[in-house]
Amino acid sequence: MQVVKHINELRTLLDHSRKEGLTIGFVPTMGALHAGHLSLVELAGQQTGFVVVSIFVNPTQFNDKADLDRYPRDLQKDLDLLSSSLCQLVFAPEPNEIYPEPDTRQFNFGTLEQVMEGKFRPGHFNGVAQVVSRLFDIVQPDKAFFGQKDFQQLAIIREMVRKMKLGVEIVSCPIIREADGLAMSSRNMLLDAVQRQSAVHISATLSEANNKTGDLSVEELCRWVIARINENEQLKTEYFEIVNSLTLMPVMSWDEPCVKVGCIAVHCGKVRLIDNIEFTKKSIQ
């Protein structure tokens, strides 16, 4: 596995792989890697011939400076984890490599960015689109792999690829969970022991909610989830919405003919956690 910091080194190595006829799989990350990231690398390795992982904590997608400062960083640990994975090349640039000048581009994703994360983290998806489009331009991958935990991010990136005609296939990968159900996230390592125990309540409540769709209306279920989570004194729900998986617009009734996903953001102390669940048809009456 090779590690490079500069675009020109990366391009030389990628040109070489392309000349060998290998397809390029790309896993963009912000480091603080965990088994969820490694599952993306594994899928990328199965589906492409040469896997590139980027590690870059992108400042433009943080609307809260304290959150950016707190974001966990441990490059050596990340490299150790990747060295036994299917990753062949790590791109770990400094901010001025990605942004030699400030990126002033303004993306417009319409209603996709006006709900949930977009509503509560203004500017976040603009920053995500800036960095992902920049990284796609640098790496020119055939396929890029993203986790479904960031459900809205996936929708935004698909839309960006469509609008900008980027010619990269976006592969959506399942959420990887801890043994007790907590969705894996780099932010989990910021939780203290009590918060960590409480955090499991989020995925447990979403699973319980999936069994209640026959008994409660969409609106009642949303209220139930929020109340249930907030019963735990460590947790404060920012939003829980049940949305159409394609448009991300709130669903009003279980009868709507679409895949329905419940998306949640919860504050656990200073740590903000997100998760989601696709409601299974069998429990919807």
Q: Which of 38, 48, 140, 45 is nearest to 79 (CA)?
A: 38
Q: Which residue has the tokens 């460590």?
A: 234
Please report which helix (H) or strand (E) contains residue 35, including its range.
helix 35-47
Asked if 150 contacts 119 with a C-beta cutoff of 8 angstroms, the reply is no
Look at residue 91 and give its three-state secondary structure: strand
Q: Which of 239, 172, 249 is nearest to 202 (CA)?
A: 239
Task: Give yes or no for residue 150 binding ligand PAF (CB under 6 A).
Answer: yes
Closer of 69 and 255 to ligand PAF (Cβ): 69
Asked if 137 contacts 7 with a C-beta cutoff of 8 angstroms, the reply is no
Candidate residues 10, 14, 26, 28; the one interacting with ligand PAF per rule CB under 6 A: 28
Q: Catalytic: which of 6, 16, 34, 37?
A: 37
CB of 103 to ligand PAF, least distance (A): 12
| Euclidean distance between CA atoms 115 and 109, whole angstroms | 11
CB of 49 to ligand PAF, least distance (A): 22
Residues whose CB is less than 8 angstroms from the CB of residue 25 and which lie 6 or more positions away in sequence, other chains included: 44, 45, 47, 48, 49, 50, 51, 52, 141, 142, 143, 144, 145
Task: Give yes or no for residue 128 binding ligand PAF (CB under 6 A).
Answer: yes
Task: Give yes or no for residue 131 binding ligand PAF (CB under 6 A).
Answer: yes
Task: Give yes or no for residue 30 binding ligand PAF (CB under 6 A).
Answer: yes
CB of 260 to ligand PAF, least distance (A): 23
CB of 209 to ligand PAF, least distance (A): 25
- Is 6 an annotated catalytic residue? no
Q: Which residue has the tokens 């989990």?
A: 188
Closer of 128 and 263 to ligand PAF (Cβ): 128
Candidate residues 29, 85, 130, 185; the one interacting with ligand PAF per rule CB under 6 A: 29
DSSP3 helix / strand / coil % (the chain, rounded to 5): 45, 20, 35
DSSP class of residue 112 equals: G
Task: Give yes or no for residue 183 binding ligand PAF (CB under 6 A).
Answer: no
Task: Give yes or no for residue 25 binding ligand PAF (CB under 6 A).
Answer: no
CB of 123 to ligand PAF, least distance (A): 13
Task: Give yes or no for residue 52 binding ligand PAF (CB under 6 A).
Answer: no
Q: Which of 268, 238, 21, 231 is nearest to 115 (CA)?
A: 238
Look at residue 179 and give its three-state secondary structure: coil
Candidate residues 39, 61, 188, 234; the one interacting with ligand PAF per rule CB under 6 A: 61
Candidate residues 17, 58, 88, 130; the one interacting with ligand PAF per rule CB under 6 A: 58
Task: Give yes or no for residue 132 binding ligand PAF (CB under 6 A).
Answer: yes
Q: Which stretch in 10-18, 92-100, 124-132, 169-177 sits in contact with ligand PAF by CB under 6 A?
A: 124-132
Q: Which residue has the tokens 């409540």?
A: 205
The residues assigned a catalytic role are: 37
